[in-house]
Chain A
Amino acid sequence: MKHRPAEYLNRELSWLEFNGRVLEEAGDKRNPLLERLRFYCIFHSNMDEFYMVRVASLLNRIRHGDGKPDPAGLTPYEQLRRIGTRVRALVDEAHTLYFEDLLPALSREGIVIEAAGTDHAQSAHLNRYFHSEVFPVLTPIAIAEGGTTPRITGLTLNLAALLAAGTEGEEAEPRLAIVQVPSRIPGLCRLPSADGQRYCWLVDVVCGRLGALFAGYRLLEIGAFRLTRDSEVELDDEGRHDYVGMLEGELRKRSRATPVRMEYEQGMSSAMRMRLQGAFQVEEAVLFPVRGPMDPRPLTAIVDMPGRENLRFRAQPPLIPPVFEQHRSIFEVLRESDLLLHVPYDSFDPVVDLMESAAEDPDVLAVKLTLYRTSGAASPIVRALIRAAEKGKQVTVLLELTARFDEERNIGWAKDLEEAGAHVLYGIAGLKVHAKIALVVRREPDGIRRYVHLGTGNYNEKTARLYTDWGLLTAAADFGRDASGFYNTITGYSEPPAFERLIMAPAGMRDEIIRLIRREADRARSGQGSGIMGQMNSLVDPAIIQELYSASQSGVKIQLNVRGICCLRPGVSGLSENIRVVSILDRYLEHPRIFAFHNGGEDEVYMSSADWMPRNLDRRIELMFPVVQQHARRRALEELRTQFADNQKARLLKPDGRYERLAPGSSARIRVQEFLYRTLMEERELERTAPPARYVPIKKEEN
C-alpha cells in the first residue's frame, strides 16, 4: 500500500480524542448529574483499558526494538511520547472537573464524598468498621532491596509505607512495605449521617489507621499507588476485552508481570517513588502523579444507586413495532414483510420472540445462532435455545468465548445446551466469529421457509438497551439460502458458497467495499449522482481509507459518523475535501455499522458486523448484508441521514485530528438520540390512531 504518512491520523491519538469526548460529556452541564458522573467513570476505565492493551503493545514493540512507524509515520517510541503528553493533559482536566465541578454539584444534591471521619460519630463508626471488616483482610508485604518483585495485581489500589525500625536516630535504611486496599470491600464507605448521603474513600480509612498494622515501627511516609499491567488482549469495538484466542498461558503469565503504567499519589516523596519504580521496573514514560481519586471505579455505586431519576436521562422505553399489536406470530409478520429494528429506539423483543417462538413451534426443524457476547445463563435467548434442543430440534450454536477463564462462567449453560442435544461449537481456529446471524428453519404447508436475523450488535438483550444497533429480520428465500450456507461453512460442513446476498469477511468483504466505493467514484466522474454515507465504530483500514480519498478526489460527497478511532484525515484540500467526519457521543453507545451508496439514484444500503479495520476484515468472520425491501431501505437511509444533522452531541473531525463540537447556529437544535426516539414514537402514535379503513360498497341505485 503506497501512501503518505501525512494522510493518516495515528490510531492511538485518535482513540485518546474519543476518550476526550467522553470526558467532555462528563463536563457537559446539560447532561443530568449522575450521567455526568457515569461518563467520568467511563473515561477512567477506558483509560485503564487503553494502557493495558494499546500502550502495553507499544511498550512490547519498543522493548523488542521494533521501530517500524505506523501509517501516520510515527515510531512506537514517538507514539508513546505523544500519548503521554495527551494523557497528562486529559487526566489533569478530569481531576479539575472532579474537584471543581462534580464534587460540588453532588454535594448540592446531598451526596457528599469527604475525607475520612470529619466528626466524632463518623470517626467511631469507621474505627469499628475498620477493625471488624477491613483489618482482618489486610496483608502487608515487605519489599526488600534486590528481592523478588512483589506480586501485585493490576488496577488494585495499594498503600506503600516507609517504616523506620526501633527508636529514633538509628541510621538504618527505612523499610518499604505495601498493603493492598482490599478489592472485595466497597471502595466507598457509607457514613452515618442525618442529612443526605455521605461517603468516604476506603483507601483513606485504611491510610489513617495503618499504624495498627506496623506495631513497633515508626511510619515515615504513606503513599497510594496503582499499577496497570499488560493484559495481552485486544479491545473490541465496545472498548471491552477481547482475548486473542487461547493464547499460551505461559506468555500471559510472563507478560502479566510487566507493568505498563504506575500512578502514584501526588506529593509522594521521590525516595518512595523511586523505590517503587525500581521494585516494579516501571518505565519513566508511564509514571503518572495523580491528584484526584486514583481508582474512581467505586463511584459507580453512586451512579447506579436506586432512585434519583431526576439526576438521570429521561427514560426512553424501547418501542414494540405496531405489527405485533394484533397478536400475530412473528412468523406471520415476517412472511408479509421484512422487519428492520433500530435498537434501543425499537425494542429488541422481536428477536427474542423469534427464538422463543422457534423453540415452541412444532414445525420448526432447526435453529442456529452465533453468540459472541451474551448475558449467559440468564439470557432468554440461551434459554430458548436449550428448550428448542430439548424438543428435538436441530440446534447449532457458535459460542465465541471472550476468554479462557470466561469458559468457567460460560461452561455451565454451554453444557446445558450440549446435554439438551445442541451442537455447540467453541469458535473457529484462527478466526473470531464476530458475525451476528440467526437462522430458523420451519416447515410450512407450502414448503420450507427460513427466517433470518442479521444484525450489527450481539444477541444480548441487555446491551440492546444501551447500544444503538441495526437488525434485519427477514423470511426472504435468498437470505435463507445464504444463512444456511454460512452455517454450513462455519460448522465445517462445506466450503464457503457463492453467496447471493451476504458478503463475508475474511473472504472478500474488503474487495466488495472497495468495489462499492469505486462505483461511486466512477459515477461521480461521469457526472452522475454519487455519495457515500456511513456509520461505524472505527475507521482504520488503510486500503479503504485510500479508496475514500480517491473517491473524494473524484467528487464523491462522503459523510461518515465514526464514533471512535478515525485514521482518515478529512477536509484536506486536494486529498479529502469532500469527506466530512462527525462523531456522536451521547447517552447510548453508537454501535452500528451501516453504509449507504447513492449509486446514481438507486441507493443501496448495507449493514455489517464489521468496522472498517484490518482486524475485522482479515482476522474475523464477519457479515455485511444489503437492506433490500424498499420501506426498510428508506427508513435506514433516513435515519442514517439524520445522524449528520445532530448539532448537540456531534463533533466534527478537523484536518489536524482534533474534534470540534457542532453548534446549532440559526438552525433548530437536533440531538439525534432523542430526535429518533421522538420521531419513531410519533409515527407509531399516528399509525395507531389512523382510522381503520371502512368498506362501503356502492350499490346500484334502485329505480
Chain B
Amino acid sequence: MSKALTTVIAAIDIGSSAIRMDVAEVRSDGQVLPLESLKKGVQLGKDAFTDGVLSEESIRAACGVLQDFKRVMDTYGVLRYRAVATSAVRESTNRETFLDRVLMSTGLDVQILDSPEENRLTYSAVLETLKDGPELQEGSSLLVEVGGGNADITLIEGNEPLQSGTYPLGAIRLRAGIASTATHEQQMRVVKRRIANILANVRRSIALKDAVNFIALGGDVRFAALAAGGGRGNLSPTVLAREEFEEFVESVFRSRIETLVRKYALSYLDAETLVPALMTYLLLLRETKARSVIVSGASIRAGILAELTPEKERGRLKKLASQILSAARSLGRKYQYDEGHAERVKDLSDLLFGELSGEQRMSDAHRLYLQVAALLHDIGLFLNTRAHHKHSHYLIVHSDLFGLRQRELDIIGNIARYHRRALPQRSHPTFMVLERDERVLVSKLAAILRVANALDKGQLQKVADISVSRDGDHIVLTASNVSDLSMERAALAGRSEFFSEVFGKRIILREAEATS
C-alpha cells in the first residue's frame, strides 16, 4: 500500500432537527478538502424543548443515523474526529444516557458543546469563508444562526467579536407547545409574538442597531438563498437584497406547510422549521441597518474540522487570543470597568507570567486565562463594592464570553475571585468544581494577579519602565524613572505572601540606579 501523506478527519454535529457529518481530508500542506457531507433529520429538539427528555424513539433514530455515519467514516479509516451535540442534547435531562447509548452502539465519543464554544466554532468558520468576498460594509456585522433550539447571535467588528449570546429563538422551540388545532394563521401569530418577546432581551445585550452587515448561517436560510436567489447550492456565500429576502420570507410565512412541501420538495420536518427560522432572521434583520443578507455556507462542522487539523488544534487559542481579549474588553466596558487599571494589571501579570512560565510549565492558553482574568478582575464592582471579587467571579462564569469554553470561564472566574481577600480553600464550592490540576493552575495565576494588582497601587504607570531579573530565589523588579517605591513595597508586603507560598520565591522591588 502506498504511503498516504494525508489524514481524513470527520466532524459530527448532533443538532436539534438533524444530525450532520462532514468528512474532509487534510493535505500535507494543511489544506482541508471536503470529501463528504451527510445530513439526516432527527427531531431531538422536539423532545428536548417540549418534554425536556429525549424519547426512546429519537435516541434509537439518532443511534441508527450515527451507525450509518460511522460506516462512512470507516470507509476512509477516520481516526481523528470530533462529535458534538448542541442545545437539544444539552438541555435534556437524560443527556448522559444518550451519550452512553451512542458510545455503546457506534463507538463514537460525543461531547456536549456549550454555547460560547458553539459560537466560536461557527464564527471562525464564517470568517474563513468570507475571506474571498463578498465585500463587507465598513462597520460592525451581525452574525446570526438560527438552529432548532437556539439562535446564536454575535456582533463583530473587523475580526473581533464585540458581543455575543445564545437565545431561545430556535425553530423547533418556537413551535413547541402550540396547539396543532389552531389555524395556520393563529400558529404563525404565536410564533411571531414569541420572537418579538425574546428580541427585547437580545436588544439589551447586543447592539443590534449598530450592525451594517447581516451574515446569516444555517440550513433554513441557505434554503432561502437557494429558493429566492435561484442558482445552485454550494458553500460560497450568497448575497440577497433585504427586500428580496423580506419578500421571500413573507411568502413562505403565508404558505401552509403542505404547500411548501410540494413546491420546494422539502420534507415535512424541514418545512415545519423553515417558517419560524426565517421569521427570526427577518425580525433580527429589521433591527439592523443592513441592506442585504449575506448567507454563508459555513457551519460549526467547518470550524470543528479546522481545529482537527493537527497543527490547528494546538493553535486554537493562539489564533483566537486577540478576539477573546477584545471580547473581554467589551464585557469590561459593559460593566464600566477602569480600563487603565485593567490594562496595567494585565501587562504586569503578563510580565511576571513570562518570567515564570518556563519553569512552571505554563502554556499560552494559561497566559490567556490570566490576561482575561486580569482585565475582568474588578468588574464585580459594577454590582457592589462589597465582596466585589465574588461578583466578578459570578459575572465571568455567566458571561458567554466569546471563544472560551465553559470550563475555561470557570477557571478564569476563579482566578479573578482570588485576586483579593481569601485564598483558595476546599470549603469554596466554586473552586472545588475544578479538577486538581485546574485548581493548581488557578492558585498560580491568582498569585500572579494579586502581585500585579498590588503593583498598580502607586506610581508604576508604565510597565515598559520595569525590567525583571533573578537573584537566587528572588524575583527582582527594577523600575526606572521612579525615585521612591516605598508605597508599592507596602502594598506588596500584604499581598505577596501567597505568591511566595505558591512559587517559593519572593518579589523584590528596586529603583533603578540613576544613570547620569
Contacts and interface: CB of A to CB of B under 8 A. Distances in A.
A, B from the same assembly? yes
Interface string B150-163: 00000000000000
A494 B38 contact: yes
Contact of B6 (A448, A494, A498): A448
A447 interface: yes
Contacts of B267: 495
A516 to B, nearest CB: 13
A495 B77 CA distance: 23
Given A444-B2, A493-B68, A394 B234 contact: no
A448 B9 CA distance: 12
B105 interface: no
B226 interface: yes
Contacts of A444: 2, 4
Contacts of B69: 493
Contact of A362 (B1, B37, B38, B234): B1
A506 B262 CA distance: 12
Contacts of A443: 1-2, 4, 76
Interface string A490-516: 011111011110000011100000000
Interface string A420-461: 000000000000000000000101111110000000000000
A495 B226 contact: no
Contact of A363 (B1, B72, B232): B1
A291 interface: no
B75 A366 contact: yes
> Size band of the B side of the interface?
20 to 34
A15 B72 CA distance: 45
Contact of A481 (B34, B72, B76): B34
A448 B2 CA distance: 12
Nearest to A501: B232
A366 B76 CA distance: 9
A394 B74 CA distance: 9
Contact of A493 (B5, B28, B72): B72
A507 B265 contact: yes
Given A363-B1, A447-B6, A448-B76, A494 B39 contact: yes
Contacts of B76: 365, 441, 443, 448
A508 B75 contact: no
A76 interface: no
Given A362-B1, A446-B6, A481-B35, A495 B40 contact: yes
B37 A497 contact: yes
A484 to B, nearest CB: 5
A662 interface: no
B350 to A, nearest CB: 42
B274 to A, nearest CB: 14
A661 B76 CA distance: 56
Contacts of A497: 37-39
Given A443-B4, A445-B3, A445-B5, A500 B234 contact: yes
> Size band of the A side of the interface?
20 to 34
Residue of B35, B40, B233, B234 with most chain A CB atoms under a 10 A cut-off: B35
Contacts of B38: 488, 493-494, 497
B64 to A, nearest CB: 9
Contacts, number: 79
Given A445-B3, A448-B25, A484 B68 contact: no
Interface string B16-35: 00000000010110000111
Contacts of B77: 365
A200 B2 CA distance: 66
A498 B265 contact: no
A484 B2 contact: no
B404 interface: no
Contacts of B68: 491-493
A497 B18 CA distance: 13
Nearest to A506: B265
B41 interface: yes
A446 B27 contact: yes
Nearest to A491: B68
B8 interface: yes
Interface string B55-77: 00000000001001101101111
Given A447-B6, A447-B33, A448-B35, A498 B232 contact: yes
Contact of A394 (B28, B75, B232, B233): B75
A130 B50 CA distance: 82
Nearest to B8: A448
Contacts of B232: 498-500
Nearest to A489: B38
Contacts of B28: 446
A498 B41 contact: no
Contacts of A477: 33
Given A448-B25, A477-B33, A493 B6 contact: no
A485 interface: yes
B394 to A, nearest CB: 44
A251 B491 CA distance: 97
Interface string B34-49: 1111111100000000
Contacts of A488: 36, 38, 72
Contacts of B75: 365-366, 394, 441
Given A485-B36, A500-B232, A446 B41 contact: no
A279 to B, nearest CB: 49
A396 B39 CA distance: 19
A169 B290 CA distance: 107
Nearest to B31: A447
Interface in A351-383: 362-363, 365-366
Contacts of B34: 481
Given A447-B25, A493-B40, A493-B72, A498 B234 contact: yes
Nearest to A423: B71
A291 B477 CA distance: 120
A552 to B, nearest CB: 24
A447 B4 CA distance: 7
Contacts of A494: 37-40
Given A493-B68, A508-B265, A498 B33 contact: no
A271 B378 CA distance: 113
Contacts of B5: 445-447
Contacts of B72: 488, 493
Nearest to B231: A515
A507 B267 CA distance: 12
Contacts of A441: 75-76
Interface in B81-98: none
A90 B77 CA distance: 62
Contacts of B39: 494-495, 497
Interface in A300-325: none
Contacts of B265: 506-508
A484 B25 contact: no
Interface in A461-497: 477, 481, 484-485, 488, 491-495, 497
A245 to B, nearest CB: 21
Contacts of A498: 226, 232-234
A448 B8 CA distance: 8
Contacts of A366: 75
Contacts of B234: 498, 500
Given A477-B33, A498-B234, 16 more contacts: A363-B2, A394-B71, A443-B2, A445-B3, A447-B6, A448-B6, A484-B35, A484-B36, A488-B38, A493-B40, A493-B65, A493-B72, A497-B38, A498-B233, A500-B232, A506-B265
23 contacts: A363-B1, A365-B76, A366-B75, A443-B76, A444-B2, A444-B4, A445-B2, A445-B4, A445-B5, A446-B5, A446-B6, A447-B5, A448-B25, A448-B35, A484-B36, A485-B37, A493-B38, A494-B40, A495-B267, A497-B39, A499-B232, A500-B232, A507-B265
Report, nearest first, the 9 A-B pairs whose CB atoms are least far apart: A498-B233, A494-B38, A493-B68, A447-B6, A484-B36, A366-B75, A394-B75, A445-B2, A495-B39
Interface of B: 1-6, 8, 25, 27-28, 33-41, 65, 68-69, 71-72, 74-77, 226, 232-234, 265, 267
